[in-house]
Amino acid sequence: MIFSSALIETAVNEFARMPGIGKKTALRLVLHLLKQEPAQVQQFSDAIARMRQQIKFCKQCHNVSDEDICSICASHTRNKDIVCVVENIRDVMAIENTQQYNGLYHVLGGIISPIDGIGPDQLNIHSLVERVQQQGTAEVIMALSPTIEGDTTIYYLSKKLKDYPVKVTTIARGIAFGGELEYADEMTLARSITNRLPLENYMQK
C-alpha cells in the first residue's frame, strides 16, 4: 500500500495493530477522521488517552472500573452470595446483556493453557479462593468457555475450592464445545446460566 503522506501511513499502521483491523479498514478509519473537524478528532484521541490512563481494575473482582470497586460489586441490589467466574471482561459484558444474572463476578484474566505459557500463577485464582474463604460465598458458577483449556481451568479451580463449604456449579452445555462464551447469543447464554449444573455432573459428561 503506497501512501502520499508519512503521517497517514503512521496512523494507518497504528490502527492496523488493533485486532481484526487490516490495512484497508485502517485506511478507511484514518480517512474518516481526516474528514472530521479537528475538535472532534481531539475529543476522540482524548477519550482514548483518558481511558488508558485512568481506567482501574476492581480490587474485588478484577472487572474494569472507574473506581477502586466496580459498580457491580458496589451495588446493594446484587446477590453477593453468588460469584460467577469468567475468563475475561468481555464475558462479564456478555452475561450482563442477558439480564438473567444478579450475582457478582470474578474475572480470571485468562484460562490455564500450558501451550500458550499460561499457568495458574498468572491468573486471578488466589484472590478467588480468598473471596470464598473470607466472604462465605454460597455458590461459585464456572462460566468458562467449553474448551479443553476451559475444562482444565474448571477442574483446577474445583480442587482449590473443595475444602470450603461452597456449592460449585457450571453453565449448562447450551454452548457447543469449543465455542467462545462471548460469541454465544444472549438467549443461549441466559439458558446456560439459568440451567446451570452441579460441577460433578458436568465433569462426568
58-105 confidence digits (pLDDT tens) = 999 999 999 999 999 999 999 999 999 999 999 999 999 988 899 999
Residues 80 and 165 in one domain: yes
> What's the pTM value of the predicted model, to 2 decimals?
0.79
- Residue 102 pLDDT: 95
Residue 1 in any domain: the answer is no
Q: Are residues 97 and 13 in the same domain?
A: no
**Number of domains comprising the chain:** 2
Q: Are residues 190 and 105 in the same domain?
A: yes
Whether residues 75 and 151 fall in one domain: yes
59 within a domain of the structure (yes/no): no
Please check whether residue 130 lies inside any domain of the structure.
yes
* CATH code for position 150: 3.40.1360.10
- Residue 40 belongs to what domain range? 6-54
Q: Are residues 105 and 170 in the same domain?
A: yes
pLDDT at position 31 over 80: yes
In a domain, 37, yes or no: yes
Chain mean pLDDT for the chain: 89
* Confidence at 187, pLDDT banded by 50, 70, 90: low
- Do 69 and 19 lie in one domain? The reply is no
Count the neighbouring beta carbons within 10 Å of the beta carbon of residue 143. Answer: 27
- At 46, which CATH number? 1.10.8.420
Is 31 inside a domain boundary? Answer: yes
In a domain, 169, yes or no: yes
| Same domain for 191 and 141 | yes
| 32 & 72 share domain | no
Of the candidates 72, 79, 56, the residue with the CA atom closest to the CA atom of residue 135: 79
113 and 135 together in one domain: yes
Same domain flag for 76 and 152: yes
Q: E-assigned strands of the chain?
A: 56-57, 64-65, 79-86, 103-107, 139-142, 167-170, 197-198
Are 136 and 42 in the same domain?
no
DSSP of 132-160, one letter per residue? HHHHT-SEEEE---SSHHHHHHHHHHHHH
CA angle 75, 80, 86 (to 5 degrees): 95
Verify that 33 and 82 share a domain, yes or no: no
CB 55 within 8 A of CB 64: yes
Question: What distance in Å separates the CA atoms of residue 48 and residue 33, rounded to the nearest whole number?
Answer: 14
Tell me: the pLDDT tens digits for 94-143? 999 988 899 999 999 999 999 899 999 999 999 999 999 999 899 999 99
